[in-house]
Amino acid sequence: MSAAKNVTANFSAGNTYTLTITNSSSSAGSVTADTGTISWSGDTGTASYTSGTSVTLTATPNDGYYLFSWGGACSGTSSTCKLTMSVNKSVSVKFSPGYALTAKKAGTGSGVVAPTTGYMTWSGNTGRAIYSTVTSVNLWATAGSDSVFTGYSGDCSGKTCALTMSSNKSVTATFASTSCAGTSAISVSTPATGSWSSSSCYSTHMSGSYAAYYTLTLSKSTNVQIKLTSTSADAYLVLMSGSGTNGTVSTSDDDSGGGTDAQISKTLSAGTYTIEATTVDPATTGMYTLTVTSW
């Protein structure tokens, strides 16, 4: 510094970029932004943003139309598109006549969901099909080998789904795994008590029913009587050879124990067996007692 100096600092708000949106038909649907203002002239809209601004666009179809696709800086068929304005960007959105059926798979199990009419395109656990107005569609849900279908929710409920496409529809099919962490041991003349609840395993033989599994090990050939009693449910017994919840069924029973109690009387060779204690009616909860005696 050999003399006095003058310095001027200039500050700017940063670069400004333009977002241009082209709507296939403003009479078919609209596009909005969560920040800023879109100025529309016919089917073309523009908005200005400073560099780095995050913008979420939402496409909303009018009644009788569905979102066919995004284009340009956006893609896919989701109702929203998120952008970061680092350059000028152009987005297109196309709406088409008809209605969209969205099917989702949920739960701990596996399965397949398919429509009886049309073709459903899947991405992960979400499927989508397009139908013209008032088309009738049934959905079929088929559980995997280690799962059970527990029902629909959304625009369908229960175990069946019949729809008339008078609007966009969304259905969730839930599958529950029948695989259990393990079984409990049971011995002759030592009763076991337990309860069926929504946190129980699912039965591998009675669709939608809760179940408990017990391992019975016999050191010699034995005449056994297996009885399952409950005051809150129609009991059902399954006897399988070997260990695990998917063994070969030796025999099963509903009401041989009297009333709604289940009972199996059988001569069993030495070895390991698995007993499934479950119910006739799906999703039944309550207490039970399982007893194995010899005779």
Q: Which domain does 286 fall in, by range? A: 184-294
Q: Of 66, 97, 128, which residue sits at a domain end?
A: 97
Longest dimension (CA), the chain: 115
Please indicate, yes or no, whether residues 135 and 201 belong to a single structural domain of this protein.
no
Per-residue CA distances from 43 to 23, 25, 31, 74, 93 (Å): 5, 6, 10, 17, 10
Whether residue 52 lies inside any domain: the answer is yes
Q: Of 177, 211, 230, which residue sits at a domain end?
A: 177
Q: Of 97, 130, 162, which residue sits at a domain end?
A: 97
Whether residue 8 lies inside any domain: the answer is no
Please indicate, yes or no, whether residues 222 and 193 belong to a single structural domain of this protein.
yes
- Please name every residue paired with 168 in a beta bridge, in sequence order, or none if there are none: none
Whether residue 276 lies inside any domain: the answer is yes
Give exposure, 143-165, as e/b (b: 16+ Cβ within 10 Å): beeebbbbbbeebbeeeebebeb
Please indicate, yes or no, whether residues 209 and 236 belong to a single structural domain of this protein.
yes
CATH of the domain at 222: 2.60.120.380
What is the per-residue pLDDT across 133-176, written as a single tens digit (0 to 9) for each?
A: 889 999 999 988 778 888 999 999 999 999 999 999 999 999 88
Please indicate, yes or no, whether residues 206 and 283 belong to a single structural domain of this protein.
yes
Give the number of domains in the chain. 3
Tens-digit pLDDT string for the chain (295 aa):
576 766 665 545 569 999 999 999 999 999 999 999 999 999 999 999 999 999 999 999 888 888 889 999 999 988 899 999 999 999 999 998 889 899 999 988 899 999 998 889 899 999 999 898 889 999 999 988 778 888 999 999 999 999 999 999 999 999 888 777 668 999 999 999 999 988 788 888 888 899 999 999 999 999 999 999 999 999 999 999 998 887 899 999 999 989 999 999 999 999 999 999 999 998 899 999 999 999 8
The CA distance from 137 to 287, in Å, is: 41
Closest CA to 92 of 29, 34, 36: 29
Structure tokens at 252: 């099963």
